[in-house]
């Protein structure tokens, strides 16, 4: 849901020259095109020897008020690699910031039309994007399958808008109910997002100071399936290191997730015209049983001398938050996925992502499988903490894989195995082996199966009929 930290830099100008003499030959340079289409800016780069394939990049969440520039690719080195191998790249800024899916879907298609008019119609177009750009990517190939040959949603919100904000509500609701039930904290219909977020941070800091508070914070985190790994520069805490894993979850909440749960939700509600999330009828006891963090919660509750069953009963008794039907319908349009793939899709996710949890991939795979399109979907996982914390080599490897799939007409299953992926990423060299903190990082593809998403909601689901109060 955040764009990658590195901004798109200028491409390295390659020229061979000597002092006082003209070069014997010049290296053809990519042709840049920039400008605006309506309220959205765009960036296009076309190599001199274009191979006819276009990568259309969808960037991630940009908070309202932040700079919103167009990105044609995930980063400068990825850009230069793609251009150097004959691929054209393009991307829109979108007409607005925040949960801008509606604008992004329209603006990216408008950019495709502009590209065709100014450069030429691509032989094939590959949609790809990070975070919010991942769900935009999946949405593009769902709504406009004839415009795309394939897609690569990376760290994407591929459980869909309704499911994602519902699951976010679960953690926020549990936090308020168990930690500060008498506080003025809002979990839906947020009037003052900045003050609300500040209050959430204060309450969390107070709770973290006691074993009982830590246990209850862990329960709230478990209902969102937060991973117990925060720092990609440190090893993942052992499965039985419950204190270490709970501490990592608290960092996810305080430094990342609370900004969305208690702040950015207000922007979504404004777009949608009301509250699009509900927990009416949700059984939190059942959700905890399915959570990847259930053993951690049980251990911390026992250590703190708390009654877990009591707190779960409390959560179930208070689960009366109702959605506004028109707001739910808005998120269904922007967007809920139906799984009816018509082009190959490769997803990429880190296992330690606490913002867009990797269980989102299970929701997407289940939806695709139910639609009978599983043969078109493959999913790859990287063993690393962080949201969209891929190395450039891992990102380029994903691009290579989807091109191979198109060239072959089928998936090369051997090439999709982690050992082959890591070998391929390593072969790109140290220039592309840059981790999320700017330090060198080895490729970390591994075999992993994500757990079920706790609050699935696909295009075939029906939102409960609810009054707009509560």
Q: What is the pLDDT of residues 44-61, one digit of tens each?
A: 999 999 999 999 999 999
Report the Cα 359 to chain-centroid distance in Å: 11
pLDDT in tens, 303-343: 999 999 999 999 999 999 999 999 999 999 999 999 999 99
Mean per-residue pLDDT of the chain: 92
The CA distance from 246 to 380, in Å, is: 26
| Res 37: pLDDT | 97
Strand arrangement of the beta sheet that strand 445-446 belongs to: 31-37, 40-46, 88-92, 53-58, 124-130, 150-154, 345-352, 377-385, 445-446
* Single pTM value for the model: 0.92
With CA atoms as reference, report the closest residue to 176 among 199, 159, 153.
Answer: 199
Residue 11's pLDDT band (boundaries 50, 70, 90)? very low
Q: For the beta carbon of residue 39, count every other beta carbon within 10 angstroms.
A: 11
> What's the length of the chain?
470
Average pLDDT over residues 218-247: 97
Q: Is the pLDDT of residue 2 over 80?
A: no
Residue 440's pLDDT band (boundaries 50, 70, 90)? confident
The answer to whether 94 and 100 have CB atoms below 8 angstroms apart is yes
The CA distance from 110 to 266, in Å, is: 28
- What does 247-270 look like in DSSP terms, one character per residue? HHHHHHIIIIIHHIIIIIHHHHHH
| Res 381: pLDDT | 98
Q: Which residues share a beta bridge with 55?
A: 89, 126
Pairing of strands 377-385, 445-446: antiparallel
Average pLDDT over residues 6-27: 31
| Res 401: pLDDT | 98
The CA distance from 74 to 86, in Å, is: 17
Question: Which structure tokens are listed for 36?
Answer: 């605006």
Pairing of strands 53-58, 445-446: unpaired
The answer to whether 436 and 382 have CB atoms below 8 angstroms apart is no
| Res 140: pLDDT | 98
Question: Which structure tokens are listed for 56?
Answer: 């259309």
| Res 141: pLDDT | 98
With CA atoms as reference, report the closest residue to 285 among 318, 315, 307, 249.
Answer: 315
Domains along the sequence of the chain with CATH: 31-160+335-446 (3.40.50.1820), 162-330 (no CATH)
Q: Is the pLDDT of residue 279 over 50?
A: yes
Average pLDDT over residues 174-178: 98
Q: Which of 175-179, 203-207, 461-465 has the lowest mean pLDDT?
A: 461-465
361 phi, psi to nearest 5 deg: -65, -35
pLDDT in tens, 280-294: 999 999 999 999 999
The DSSP output letter for 455 is S
pLDDT in tens, 90-112: 999 999 999 999 999 999 999 99
| Res 395: pLDDT | 98
The CA distance from 114 to 107, in Å, is: 10
The helix/strand count (H/E) of the chain reads as 16, 9
pLDDT in tens, 111-132: 999 999 999 999 999 999 999 9
| Res 459: pLDDT | 81
The CA distance from 403 to 397, in Å, is: 10
Percent of the chain with pLDDT over 90: 88
The SS3 call for residue 152 is strand
Burial class (CB in 10 A: 0-12, 13-18, 19+), 464: exposed
Helix (H) / strand (E) element for 92: namely strand 88-92
Question: Which structure tokens are listed for 193?
Answer: 């997002």
Q: Is the pLDDT of residue 347 over 90?
A: yes
| Res 1: pLDDT | 44
| Res 465: pLDDT | 61
Q: Which of 28-32, 44-48, 188-192, 298-302 has the lowest mean pLDDT?
A: 28-32
């Amino acid at each position: 849901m955040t764009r990658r930290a590195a901004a798109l830099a200028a491409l390295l100008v390659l020229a061979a020259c000597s002092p006082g003499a003209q070069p014997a030959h010049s290296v053809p340079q990519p042709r840049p095109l920039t400008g605006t289409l309506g309220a959205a800016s765009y960036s296009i780069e076309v190599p001199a020897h274009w191979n006819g394939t276009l990568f259309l990049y969808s960037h991630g969440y940009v908070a309202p008020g932040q700079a919103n520039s167009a990105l044609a690719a995930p980063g400068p080195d990825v850009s230069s690699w793609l251009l150097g191998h004959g691929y054209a790249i393009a991307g829109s800024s979108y007409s607005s910031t925040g949960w801008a899916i509606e604008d992004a879907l329209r603006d990216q298609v408008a950019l495709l039309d502009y590209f065709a008019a100014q450069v030429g119609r691509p032989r094939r177009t590959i949609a790809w994007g990070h975070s919010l750009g991942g769900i935009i990517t999946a949405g593009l190939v769902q709504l406009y399958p004839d415009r795309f040959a394939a897609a690569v949603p990376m760290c994407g919100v591929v459980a869909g808008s309704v499911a994602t904000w519902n699951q976010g509500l679960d953690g926020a609701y549990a936090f308020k109910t168990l930690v500060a039930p008498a506080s003025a904290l809002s979990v839906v219909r947020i009037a003052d997002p900045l003050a609300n977020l500040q209050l959430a941070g204060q309450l969390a800091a107070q709770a973290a100071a006691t074993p009982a508070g830590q246990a209850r914070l862990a329960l709230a985190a478990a209902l969102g399936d937060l991973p117990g790994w925060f720092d990609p520069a440190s090893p993942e805490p052992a499965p039985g290191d419950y204190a270490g894993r709970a501490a990592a979850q608290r960092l996810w909440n305080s430094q990342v997730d609370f900004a969305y749960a208690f702040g950015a939700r207000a922007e979504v509600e404004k777009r949608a015209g009301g509250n699009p999330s509900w927990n009416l009828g949700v059984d939190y006891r059942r959700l905890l049983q399915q959570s990847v963090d259930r053993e951690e919660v049980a251990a911390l509750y026992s250590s703190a001398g708390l009654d877990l069953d009591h707190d779960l009963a409390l959560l179930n008794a208070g689960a009366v938050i109702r959605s506004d039907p028109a707001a739910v319908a808005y998120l269904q349009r922007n967007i809920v996925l139906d799984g009816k793939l018509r082009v190959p899709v490769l997803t990429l996710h880190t296992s330690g992502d606490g913002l867009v949890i990797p269980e989102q991939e299970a929701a997407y795979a289940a939806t695709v499988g139910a639609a009978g399109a599983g043969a078109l979907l493959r999913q790859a996982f990287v063993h690393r903490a962080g949201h969209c914390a891929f190395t450039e080599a891992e990102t380029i490897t994903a691009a290579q894989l989807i091109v191979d799939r198109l060239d072959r007409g089928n998936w090369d299953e051997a090439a999709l195995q982690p050992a082959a992926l890591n070998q391929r990423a390593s072969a790109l060299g140290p220039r592309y082996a840059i981790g999320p903190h700017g330090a060198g990082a080895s490729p970390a593809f591994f075999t992993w199966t994500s757990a079920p998403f706790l609050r699935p909601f696909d295009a075939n689901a029906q939102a409960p009929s609810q009054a707009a109060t509560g």
